[in-house]
Amino acid sequence: MSEPISEPMLRIEGLNSFYGKAHILNDLGFSVTRGEVVALLGRNGAGKTTTMKSIMQLVRSRKGHIHFHGTEITGMAPHKVARMGLGYVPEERRIFTDLTILENLEVGRQGHRVDTPFWTEADMFELFPNLWEQRNAQGKAMSGGEQQMLTIARTLMGNPSLLLLDEPSEGIAPIIVEQMAQTILKFKEQGLTVIISEQNLHFAKIVADRTVIIEGGEKKFDGSFDELENHTEIRDAYLSVQADEIETNDELRFRETAFCRKRNPARGEPVSDPAEKAPKTPDPRTHGYVLDEQIGYLLRKAYQRNAVLFGEKVQSGLTPTQFAVMARLTELGSVSQNHLGRTVGLDVATTKGVVDRLHARGLIETGRDPNDRRRQMISLSDAGWQLFEECALLGLDVSQETLSPLTQAERWSLLKILKKLQ
């Protein structure tokens, strides 16, 4: 079913939702048009997840109206709402752990809808290569990030016209966060309408067209991110101060650059170890911001911005993760796949996916270990060395641009922590 151009795909008016006697949403209202990606932003407990569940009718509203494709769905059974084309990816994932990936995908299958992208299993495996590699594995054998991928893929198999993503970047490895951002951008290219619930301001800026900020179950802002930048009082009042301070700290992949290599092959020059010159971490009693308490959040924010800068500056067709693997191979020479993954900080499935893609481009070579013929060794090919040397200086520029907004104390603290992760 397609609505007139002037009619929003989703319209919420005066929504009031409760958990028992607790009043969670207070006269909430906003709309979403076809093809938009809208981010619901707010602190923990602001009402973002309740908004998602209220749209899906998993939480019943006592007052207000929700219209989807011009039809009021308030009070409708959740399975009927899903059949109309609403897809929901909950924060807690809820995959069928005893079913294989293929079986999980089959559970979510629905027919094609008019004016809506049509998704197949092949599309899912193209979006999420890790799922293809483990397609016959049970869900309980997957990592948290892979389960998040599977949940999204299973929902897409229902061919929704509107996808609700609850905290897609929460609690998953930074490398998966990068893949998640790229996936949502692909959704936009396909014309899929998406609402994401997020606390991660920088992630939301990358993927969303505009934002609705919720606090105490009430709408506090509805507009573009440019407009939000012009209303710093709103951002400071309703979004985490730490998020604003950290969002430009984009150096999770220092290991991509000469900061994490003993030499820069593109220049043939030794690179100093910044940890040797690092000043002591500031005393929290005299320093207003305690970096260590926010390090997990900081690393995630850093990685996301780094991915954006890398894509803008390094026009090579490489992802930051692929570049990190190539950088490590310049240090290690010929190495086993398992050892390579451990040194870059990737799980087995992700390492295999990266190696396979680099091998398909002719950027790495494989051979047998002369001391153990059962073990396969990986090294950069001549083409790989050439491409890496072309990109290495650009990689340094990305790192330097990322560091530039930070104070010296924050730079050294971040570098010191990243060095421990090597």
Task: In whole angstroms, give the CA distance from residue 302 to residue 22.
Answer: 37
pLDDT score of 76: 93
φ and ψ of 415, to 5 deg: -60, -40
pLDDT digits (tens, 9 = 90+) for 369-389: 777 667 778 888 888 888 888
Q: What is the mean pLDDT of residues 211-233?
A: 92
Name all domains of the chain by residue range, CATH numbers in brackets. Answer: 10-239 (3.40.50.300), 244-422 (1.10.10.10)
Which residue reads 């993954």 in tokens?
Answer: 341
| pLDDT at residue 314 tops 90 | no
β-bridge mates for residue 38, sequence order: 195, 210
| pLDDT at residue 70 tops 70 | yes
pLDDT score of 311: 66
Least confident of 7-16, 83-92, 303-312: 303-312
pLDDT score of 74: 94
pLDDT score of 167: 85
- pLDDT-based confidence at residue 282 (cuts at 50, 70, 90): very low
Q: What residues contact residue 242 under an 8 Å CB cut-off, 6+ apart?
A: 289, 294, 297
Task: In whole angstroms, give the CA distance from residue 312 to residue 310.
Answer: 5
φ and ψ of 398, to 5 deg: -60, -45
Q: Which residue has the higher pLDDT, 109 or 415?
A: 109
β-bridge mates for residue 221, sequence order: 213
| pLDDT at residue 292 tops 60 | no
pLDDT score of 307: 65
| pLDDT at residue 191 tops 80 | yes
Q: Which residue has the higher pLDDT, 342 or 421?
A: 342
pLDDT score of 28: 96
- pLDDT-based confidence at residue 77 (cuts at 50, 70, 90): very high
Q: What is the mean pLDDT of residues 286-301?
A: 43
Q: What is the mean pLDDT of residues 42-65?
A: 90
Flag whether the pTM goes above 0.85: no
Task: In whole angstroms, give the CA distance from residue 382 to residue 105.
Answer: 40
